[in-house]
Amino acid sequence: MNYTGRLEGLLTLLAPLSHIGESHGPDSYLDTQYIIGPDGYPVEIFCYHGNAFRGMLRDCGSKYMLDRLGKDGRVQVPLDVFYLLFSGGSIGGDQSVDIDQARRIRQAIPLLSVLGGGVGNQILPGKVNFGDAFPLCAEVQHMLPEHLRSEKHISWRQMTSERSFSRKDDAKDDNLRTYLQPEDRPLLEAGGQMALPLETEKVAKKKDAPQQMRYTIEVLNAGAKLWMRIDVRDLTEVEFGALVSAFDEWSKAPYIGGQNRIGFGRVAAEFSWHDVRGPEERDFLQISDKGRYLSETAQNAKKLYDEFLNQYTEYLTEKRDGLVKLLEAN
Protein backbone atom coordinates (compact mmCIF):
# COMPACT_ATOMS: atom_id res chain seq x y z
CA MET A 1 0.00 0.00 0.00
CA ASN A 2 1.27 3.46 -0.91
CA TYR A 3 0.28 6.78 0.62
CA THR A 4 -0.51 9.85 -1.49
CA GLY A 5 -2.40 12.79 -0.09
CA ARG A 6 -1.87 15.65 2.30
CA LEU A 7 -1.48 16.40 5.97
CA GLU A 8 -3.22 19.52 7.23
CA GLY A 9 -1.94 20.89 10.51
CA LEU A 10 -3.26 23.40 13.01
CA LEU A 11 -0.60 24.70 15.37
CA THR A 12 -1.73 26.57 18.49
CA LEU A 13 0.95 28.71 20.11
CA LEU A 14 1.28 27.97 23.82
CA ALA A 15 4.13 30.48 24.02
CA PRO A 16 5.25 33.46 21.90
CA LEU A 17 6.74 32.60 18.50
CA SER A 18 9.97 34.17 17.23
CA HIS A 19 10.69 33.71 13.53
CA ILE A 20 13.13 36.42 12.53
CA GLY A 21 13.19 38.16 9.19
CA GLU A 22 15.10 41.41 9.64
CA SER A 23 17.26 42.73 12.46
CA HIS A 24 18.24 46.31 13.18
CA GLY A 25 20.91 46.53 15.82
CA PRO A 26 19.71 44.60 18.88
CA ASP A 27 16.10 44.49 17.65
CA SER A 28 14.66 41.58 15.62
CA TYR A 29 11.41 41.47 13.69
CA LEU A 30 9.09 38.75 12.41
CA ASP A 31 9.63 37.49 8.88
CA THR A 32 6.99 38.61 6.39
CA GLN A 33 6.09 38.16 2.76
CA TYR A 34 3.57 39.61 0.34
CA ILE A 35 0.48 37.79 -0.88
CA ILE A 36 -2.53 38.89 -2.90
CA GLY A 37 -5.22 39.53 -0.29
CA PRO A 38 -8.97 38.85 -0.43
CA ASP A 39 -9.54 42.27 -2.07
CA GLY A 40 -7.11 41.50 -4.88
CA TYR A 41 -4.35 43.82 -3.68
CA PRO A 42 -0.90 42.90 -2.32
CA VAL A 43 -0.76 42.69 1.45
CA GLU A 44 2.12 41.94 3.80
CA ILE A 45 1.69 39.01 6.17
CA PHE A 46 3.73 36.91 8.57
CA CYS A 47 4.27 33.22 7.87
CA TYR A 48 6.33 30.46 9.42
CA HIS A 49 8.44 28.90 6.68
CA GLY A 50 7.63 25.36 5.62
CA ASN A 51 11.34 24.84 5.07
CA ALA A 52 11.97 25.57 8.77
CA PHE A 53 9.38 22.97 9.77
CA ARG A 54 10.89 20.51 7.30
CA GLY A 55 14.36 21.04 8.79
CA MET A 56 13.02 20.53 12.29
CA LEU A 57 11.35 17.24 11.26
CA ARG A 58 14.54 16.11 9.51
CA ASP A 59 16.48 16.61 12.75
CA CYS A 60 13.84 14.74 14.77
CA GLY A 61 13.57 11.88 12.28
CA SER A 62 17.34 11.43 12.04
CA LYS A 63 17.68 11.45 15.82
CA TYR A 64 14.90 8.88 16.12
CA MET A 65 16.54 6.62 13.54
CA LEU A 66 20.05 6.77 15.02
CA ASP A 67 18.74 6.28 18.56
CA ARG A 68 16.84 3.18 17.45
CA LEU A 69 19.80 1.80 15.51
CA GLY A 70 22.06 2.39 18.48
CA LYS A 71 19.82 1.03 21.23
CA ASP A 72 22.70 -1.21 22.37
CA GLY A 73 25.28 1.55 21.95
CA ARG A 74 25.37 5.01 20.37
CA VAL A 75 25.68 5.04 16.59
CA GLN A 76 28.17 7.64 15.41
CA VAL A 77 28.57 8.62 11.76
CA PRO A 78 31.22 10.64 9.87
CA LEU A 79 30.70 14.37 9.49
CA ASP A 80 29.53 14.21 5.86
CA VAL A 81 26.93 11.55 6.70
CA PHE A 82 25.91 13.59 9.76
CA TYR A 83 25.28 16.62 7.54
CA LEU A 84 23.36 14.47 5.07
CA LEU A 85 21.03 13.11 7.75
CA PHE A 86 20.53 16.31 9.73
CA SER A 87 20.98 19.03 7.08
CA GLY A 88 20.19 17.35 3.78
CA GLY A 89 23.80 17.06 2.61
CA SER A 90 25.36 18.80 -0.36
CA ILE A 91 26.51 18.08 -3.91
CA GLY A 92 30.20 17.72 -4.75
CA GLY A 93 31.58 17.79 -8.29
CA ASP A 94 29.56 17.43 -11.47
CA GLN A 95 25.99 16.36 -10.80
CA SER A 96 25.01 12.90 -12.02
CA VAL A 97 22.15 10.44 -11.65
CA ASP A 98 22.70 6.86 -10.48
CA ILE A 99 19.26 5.24 -10.41
CA ASP A 100 20.50 1.99 -8.88
CA GLN A 101 22.28 3.77 -6.04
CA ALA A 102 19.27 6.01 -5.44
CA ARG A 103 17.05 2.93 -5.24
CA ARG A 104 19.39 1.28 -2.71
CA ILE A 105 19.46 4.43 -0.57
CA ARG A 106 15.66 4.73 -0.60
CA GLN A 107 15.33 1.12 0.53
CA ALA A 108 17.99 1.37 3.23
CA ILE A 109 17.14 4.81 4.65
CA PRO A 110 13.40 5.51 4.29
CA LEU A 111 13.65 8.91 6.02
CA LEU A 112 16.13 10.11 3.38
CA SER A 113 13.79 8.83 0.69
CA VAL A 114 10.98 10.88 2.26
CA LEU A 115 12.86 14.16 2.74
CA GLY A 116 15.53 13.84 0.03
CA GLY A 117 19.10 15.11 0.12
CA GLY A 118 22.39 15.55 -1.67
CA VAL A 119 24.19 12.20 -1.81
CA GLY A 120 27.68 12.16 -3.33
CA ASN A 121 27.24 14.00 -6.60
CA GLN A 122 23.54 13.43 -7.13
CA ILE A 123 20.33 14.88 -5.72
CA LEU A 124 17.89 12.40 -4.23
CA PRO A 125 14.46 14.06 -4.58
CA GLY A 126 12.16 13.86 -1.58
CA LYS A 127 8.52 12.82 -1.64
CA VAL A 128 7.06 15.44 0.72
CA ASN A 129 6.39 19.14 0.10
CA PHE A 130 6.06 21.50 3.07
CA GLY A 131 3.95 24.62 2.67
CA ASP A 132 4.31 27.75 4.78
CA ALA A 133 2.26 28.03 7.97
CA PHE A 134 -0.11 31.02 7.92
CA PRO A 135 -1.83 32.55 10.94
CA LEU A 136 -5.62 32.32 11.03
CA CYS A 137 -6.07 36.01 10.28
CA ALA A 138 -8.17 38.34 8.14
CA GLU A 139 -5.52 38.68 5.42
CA VAL A 140 -5.47 34.97 4.46
CA GLN A 141 -9.18 34.05 4.67
CA HIS A 142 -9.32 33.08 1.00
CA MET A 143 -6.30 30.77 1.39
CA LEU A 144 -7.60 28.76 4.35
CA PRO A 145 -9.70 25.59 4.21
CA GLU A 146 -13.41 26.35 4.31
CA HIS A 147 -13.90 25.11 7.88
CA LEU A 148 -11.23 27.48 9.22
CA ARG A 149 -12.55 30.68 7.63
CA SER A 150 -14.31 33.23 9.82
CA GLU A 151 -15.33 36.87 9.53
CA LYS A 152 -14.27 37.27 13.17
CA HIS A 153 -10.58 36.73 12.37
CA ILE A 154 -8.48 39.81 13.13
CA SER A 155 -5.41 41.13 11.33
CA TRP A 156 -2.18 39.29 12.06
CA ARG A 157 -0.65 42.60 13.14
CA GLN A 158 -3.01 42.59 16.12
CA MET A 159 -1.50 39.23 17.12
CA THR A 160 2.04 40.55 17.57
CA SER A 161 3.90 42.26 20.37
CA GLU A 162 7.47 43.11 21.32
CA ARG A 163 9.36 41.36 24.09
CA SER A 164 12.36 43.16 25.55
CA PHE A 165 15.18 41.49 27.46
CA SER A 166 18.25 42.65 29.34
CA ARG A 167 21.62 41.02 29.61
CA LYS A 168 23.58 42.30 32.57
CA ASP A 169 27.34 42.62 32.89
CA ASP A 170 28.15 40.01 35.52
CA ALA A 171 31.68 41.37 35.85
CA LYS A 172 30.15 44.33 37.66
CA ASP A 173 28.45 42.10 40.23
CA ASP A 174 30.50 42.22 43.45
CA ASN A 175 29.22 38.78 44.45
CA LEU A 176 30.65 37.26 41.27
CA ARG A 177 33.85 39.27 40.79
CA THR A 178 35.73 36.94 43.14
CA TYR A 179 35.69 34.41 40.28
CA LEU A 180 37.21 36.89 37.82
CA GLN A 181 40.92 36.67 37.09
CA PRO A 182 42.77 39.96 37.67
CA GLU A 183 43.94 41.66 34.47
CA ASP A 184 47.57 41.72 35.63
CA ARG A 185 47.66 37.99 36.45
CA PRO A 186 50.56 36.18 34.67
CA LEU A 187 49.81 33.45 32.18
CA LEU A 188 51.27 30.80 34.49
CA GLU A 189 51.29 30.78 38.27
CA ALA A 190 52.69 28.24 40.70
CA GLY A 191 49.85 25.92 41.62
CA GLY A 192 47.52 27.90 39.39
CA GLN A 193 46.11 27.50 35.91
CA MET A 194 47.61 28.43 32.59
CA ALA A 195 45.67 30.80 30.36
CA LEU A 196 46.08 30.02 26.67
CA PRO A 197 47.62 32.86 24.63
CA LEU A 198 44.70 32.69 22.18
CA GLU A 199 42.22 33.11 25.02
CA THR A 200 44.20 36.06 26.39
CA GLU A 201 44.15 37.69 22.96
CA LYS A 202 40.39 37.23 22.70
CA VAL A 203 39.86 38.72 26.16
CA ALA A 204 41.99 41.73 25.23
CA LYS A 205 39.89 42.35 22.14
CA LYS A 206 36.63 42.04 24.07
CA LYS A 207 37.74 43.97 27.17
CA ASP A 208 36.13 47.18 26.02
CA ALA A 209 33.11 45.52 24.37
CA PRO A 210 29.85 46.19 26.28
CA GLN A 211 28.48 43.11 28.01
CA GLN A 212 25.35 44.77 29.33
CA MET A 213 22.66 45.34 26.75
CA ARG A 214 18.94 45.46 26.11
CA TYR A 215 17.39 43.80 23.07
CA THR A 216 13.88 43.44 21.67
CA ILE A 217 12.21 40.59 19.77
CA GLU A 218 8.96 40.91 17.82
CA VAL A 219 6.80 37.82 18.40
CA LEU A 220 3.51 36.29 17.41
CA ASN A 221 1.54 36.10 20.65
CA ALA A 222 0.66 32.92 22.50
CA GLY A 223 -2.84 31.77 21.59
CA ALA A 224 -2.45 32.49 17.88
CA LYS A 225 -3.14 29.59 15.52
CA LEU A 226 -1.21 28.64 12.38
CA TRP A 227 -2.46 26.47 9.52
CA MET A 228 -0.10 24.51 7.29
CA ARG A 229 -0.30 21.88 4.56
CA ILE A 230 2.15 19.07 3.83
CA ASP A 231 1.72 17.20 0.53
CA VAL A 232 2.76 13.54 0.44
CA ARG A 233 3.19 11.49 -2.70
CA ASP A 234 3.77 7.80 -3.28
CA LEU A 235 5.19 6.88 0.15
CA THR A 236 5.58 3.22 0.99
CA GLU A 237 4.21 2.07 4.34
CA VAL A 238 7.72 2.06 5.82
CA GLU A 239 8.42 5.55 4.44
CA PHE A 240 5.11 6.78 5.84
CA GLY A 241 6.16 5.31 9.18
CA ALA A 242 9.48 7.17 8.95
CA LEU A 243 7.56 10.43 8.55
CA VAL A 244 5.34 9.58 11.52
CA SER A 245 8.43 8.73 13.61
CA ALA A 246 9.77 12.26 13.01
CA PHE A 247 6.52 13.72 14.34
CA ASP A 248 6.65 11.30 17.26
CA GLU A 249 10.16 12.45 18.19
CA TRP A 250 9.11 16.10 17.84
CA SER A 251 6.22 15.50 20.25
CA LYS A 252 8.78 15.05 23.05
CA ALA A 253 9.62 18.77 22.77
CA PRO A 254 7.10 20.42 20.41
CA TYR A 255 8.78 23.74 19.67
CA ILE A 256 9.07 25.76 16.47
CA GLY A 257 10.92 28.97 15.63
CA GLY A 258 13.72 30.54 17.63
CA GLN A 259 14.48 31.37 21.25
CA ASN A 260 13.37 27.91 22.41
CA ARG A 261 15.89 28.18 25.25
CA ILE A 262 13.61 30.72 26.95
CA GLY A 263 10.43 28.80 26.18
CA PHE A 264 9.40 30.52 22.95
CA GLY A 265 7.71 28.50 20.20
CA ARG A 266 5.99 25.79 22.25
CA VAL A 267 2.89 24.55 20.42
CA ALA A 268 -0.02 22.17 20.54
CA ALA A 269 -0.60 20.47 17.18
CA GLU A 270 -3.44 18.71 15.38
CA PHE A 271 -2.83 17.04 12.02
CA SER A 272 -5.43 15.42 9.81
CA TRP A 273 -4.68 13.00 6.96
CA HIS A 274 -6.47 13.36 3.62
CA ASP A 275 -5.83 10.48 1.23
CA VAL A 276 -6.34 11.14 -2.50
CA ARG A 277 -8.52 8.03 -2.62
CA GLY A 278 -11.01 9.61 -0.27
CA PRO A 279 -10.56 8.42 3.34
CA GLU A 280 -9.84 11.20 5.83
CA GLU A 281 -8.60 10.96 9.39
CA ARG A 282 -9.24 14.14 11.35
CA ASP A 283 -7.40 12.81 14.40
CA PHE A 284 -4.32 11.46 12.61
CA LEU A 285 -1.89 13.12 15.05
CA GLN A 286 -2.41 15.23 18.15
CA ILE A 287 0.24 16.78 20.39
CA SER A 288 -0.60 18.64 23.59
CA ASP A 289 0.54 19.07 27.17
CA LYS A 290 -1.25 15.79 27.89
CA GLY A 291 1.06 13.94 25.51
CA ARG A 292 0.68 12.75 21.94
CA TYR A 293 -1.95 10.68 20.18
CA LEU A 294 -1.48 8.68 16.97
CA SER A 295 -4.37 7.28 14.96
CA GLU A 296 -4.47 3.60 14.09
CA THR A 297 -3.11 4.36 10.61
CA ALA A 298 -0.20 6.34 12.06
CA GLN A 299 0.52 3.69 14.70
CA ASN A 300 0.57 0.86 12.16
CA ALA A 301 2.91 2.76 9.83
CA LYS A 302 5.28 3.59 12.68
CA LYS A 303 5.20 -0.03 13.86
CA LEU A 304 6.31 -1.21 10.41
CA TYR A 305 9.11 1.35 10.39
CA ASP A 306 10.26 0.28 13.86
CA GLU A 307 10.34 -3.35 12.70
CA PHE A 308 12.42 -2.27 9.69
CA LEU A 309 14.89 -0.48 11.99
CA ASN A 310 15.09 -3.55 14.25
CA GLN A 311 16.08 -5.67 11.28
CA TYR A 312 18.57 -3.04 10.15
CA THR A 313 20.10 -2.98 13.62
CA GLU A 314 20.89 -6.69 13.29
CA TYR A 315 22.55 -5.98 9.92
CA LEU A 316 24.65 -3.18 11.40
CA THR A 317 25.76 -5.46 14.23
CA GLU A 318 27.63 -7.49 11.63
CA LYS A 319 28.56 -4.62 9.30
CA ARG A 320 28.90 -1.44 11.34
CA ASP A 321 30.16 0.52 8.33
CA GLY A 322 27.32 -0.57 6.04
CA LEU A 323 25.33 2.62 6.48
CA VAL A 324 28.36 4.81 5.80
CA LYS A 325 29.54 2.91 2.71
CA LEU A 326 26.11 3.14 1.17
CA LEU A 327 26.19 6.93 1.41
CA GLU A 328 29.74 7.44 0.15
CA ALA A 329 30.19 9.50 -2.99
CA ASN A 330 30.37 7.68 -6.32
The answer to whether residue 310 scores a pLDDT higher than 60 is yes
Domain-embedded: residue 261? yes
263: left (phi over 0), alpha (psi -120 to 50) or beta: left
Per the structure, the count of domains in the chain is 1
Domain-embedded: residue 177? no
Weakest mean pLDDT among 16-30, 43-57, 86-100, 300-314 = 86-100
Angle, vertex CA 99, rays to CA 98 and CA 101, nearest 5:
70
For the chain, the average pLDDT equals 82
| Most confident option among 82-86, 211-215, 289-293 | 289-293
Domain-embedded: residue 171? no
pLDDT of residue 24: 64
The answer to whether residue 83 scores a pLDDT higher than 90 is no
Select the more confidently predicted residue: 235 or 72.
235
Range of the domain at 118: 3-158+218-327
Domain-embedded: residue 203? no
Domain-embedded: residue 210? no
Residues 200-220 have a mean pLDDT of: 65
Domain-embedded: residue 170? no
| Most confident option among 17-21, 28-32, 294-298, 310-314 | 294-298
Domain-embedded: residue 235? yes
Domain-embedded: residue 175? no
Q: How far is CA 271 from the centre of its chain?
A: 17
| Most confident option among 205-214, 225-234, 278-287, 320-329 | 225-234
What pTM was estimated for this model as a whole? 0.81
* Percentage of the chain lying above the pLDDT 90 cut: 49
